Amino acid sequence: MASIVGAIADLRQLDLMANGNTGLHRLDARAKVLATLAFILAVVSVNKYELAALFPFFLYPAVIMALGDLPVRHIAKKVAVVLPFALMVGIFNPIFDQTVLVRLGALAISGGWLSFASILVRATLTVGAALILVAVTGFPAICQALDQLGLPRIFTVQLLFLYRYLFVLGEEGSRMARARELRAFGGKGLGLRSYGAMISHLLLRTWLRAERIHLAMLARGFSGKFHPRRTTRFGGRDFLFLAGWSGLFLFFRLVNVSRLLGTIVTGAPR
């Protein structure tokens, strides 16, 4: 995993993006969550050797990023960070799957390479979709949407607490890491014993903090039950968004638009 400090900084950035005020931002979070889900399902269900069939799906992130006024380069960089893992496992495909499936003139492309490329494209699409979802919705809104869609209250509350204290503890963690660095005189990491000690102290402080938070909750009348803030309304626009995109994904899934387009343009027989 990439540096957590950097990742938390990224998180703040994504959060900032979520505060935008485009029409897209104002859509109900449930519509966006469900649309993303439909997108991911459609993309992932594509046959492992299909490559061109995946390309139309790029329309969704492109449009959303445009409508939501999101910084493309920034998101692209974040997506790129993830690819190495997909690369690592996918790279075996060309080795183990040598059956030639496609011939482009003199060039013979094996199934292994096709599926490898397909894996990469799929990773890009799915990871991109998740990031974009957060960037136009914001994490708290996503949690509320999940709560309204039926996820257990305890879990959504857990997500919100986690998110809230991620920054606080991230700060404590980086302070510890810095303090240790200053006493390590160039050595990278001090071995297990000091690590164990540091983590233990952090843990105890964290535990005490939890007790204080609980105290603050009790002081404001908490008696075990969390109440939802306010229910948002799912309107016509939201429905259109969800239905429209889902329908489009289904279409892309059932019809290989790339091949269709290509056939029309080049006049080749079907």
Partner 1 sequence: MSHHIVEVRDLRHVYPDGTEALRGVSFRITHGEAVAIIGANGAGKSTLLLHLNGYLTPSQGAIRIGDFPLTPATLPEIRRTVGMVFQDPDDQLFMPTVFDDVAFGPLNLGLDGDEVEAQVRMALARVGAGHLRDKPPYRLSGGEKKRVGIATVLAMSPDILVMDEPTSGLDPFARRQLMALLKDFHHTRIFTSHDLDMVLELCERTIVLHEGEVMADGPTLDIFRDEALLAACRLEKPFAMQGCPVCGGKPSPPEPHG
Partner 2 sequence: MHMADALLSPAVGGTMWAVSAGAIVACSRKLRQEMDAGKAPLMGVLGAFIFAAMMINFTIPATGSSGHLGGGLLLAVLLGPAAAFITIASVLVVQALFFADGGLLALGCNIFNLGFFPAFLAYPFIYKPLAGKAPSKTRIAVAAMLAAIIGLQLGAFSVVLETVASGISSLPFATFVSLMQPIHLAIGVVEGLVTGAVISFVYQARPEIIQSVQEARPLGATPLRNVLAAFLGMALLTGGLVSWFASENPDGLEWAIAKVTGGEELAVTKDGLHARLAALQETVAFLPDYTFKKAEQQPESGAGRESSLGTSVAGVVGGLMTLAIAFLSGIFLRKQGRAA
- Binding positions for partner 1, rule: CB under 8 A: 12, 15, 19, 139-140, 143, 160-161, 163-165, 167-168, 209, 212-213, 215-223, 227, 229-230
Q: Of 170 and 234, which has the nearer Cβ to partner 2?
A: 170
Look up residue 20 and give its two tokens: 């935008």
Mention every residue, 6+ apart, whose C-beta is less than 8 A from residue 83.
120, 123, 124
CA-to-CA distance for 32 and 24, rounded, in angstroms? 9
- In the list partner 2, partner 1, none, the entry touching 63 (Cβ below 5 to 8 angstroms by class) is partner 2
221 binds partner 2 (CB under 8 A): no
Question: Restricting to residues 178-217, which ones interact with partner 2 according to CB under 8 A?
Answer: 180, 187-200, 202-204, 206-207, 209-211, 213-214, 217
Q: Of 224 and 236, which has the nearer Cβ to partner 2?
A: 224
243 binds partner 2 (CB under 8 A): no
Q: Which of 26, 153, 183, 237 binds partner 2 (CB under 8 A)?
A: 153
Q: Site for partner 2 (CB under 8 A): how many residues?
A: 137
Neighbours of 250 (CB within 10 A): 12
- In the list partner 1, partner 2, none, the entry touching 227 (Cβ below 5 to 8 angstroms by class) is partner 1
Q: Of 175 and 243, which has the nearer Cβ to partner 2?
A: 175
The rounded radius of gyration (Å) of the Cα atoms in the chain is: 23
Phi (first) and psi of residue 104, to 5 degrees: -110, 90
Q: In terms of Cα–Cα distance, which of 140, 112, 151 is closest to 11?
A: 140
Amino acid, res. 200: S
Residue 243 Cβ, how far from partner 2 at the closest point, in Å? 19
Residue 9 Cβ, how far from partner 1 at the closest point, in Å? 12
Q: Of 47 and 206, which has the nearer Cβ to partner 1?
A: 206
41 binds partner 2 (CB under 8 A): yes
- Exposure letters 57-71 (e unless 16+ CB within 10 A, then b): beebbeebbeebebe
Q: Of 28 and 111, which has the nearer Cβ to partner 2?
A: 111
- Tell me 57's DSSP state: G
- In the list partner 1, partner 2, none, the entry touching 220 (Cβ below 5 to 8 angstroms by class) is partner 1
Give whole-number Cα distances, 128 to 39, 53, 85, 120, in Å: 11, 18, 15, 12
**Residue 28, by phi and psi: left (phi above 0), alpha (psi -120 to 50) or beta?**
beta
Amino acid, res. 117: A
Q: Of 152 and 228, which has the nearer Cβ to partner 2?
A: 152
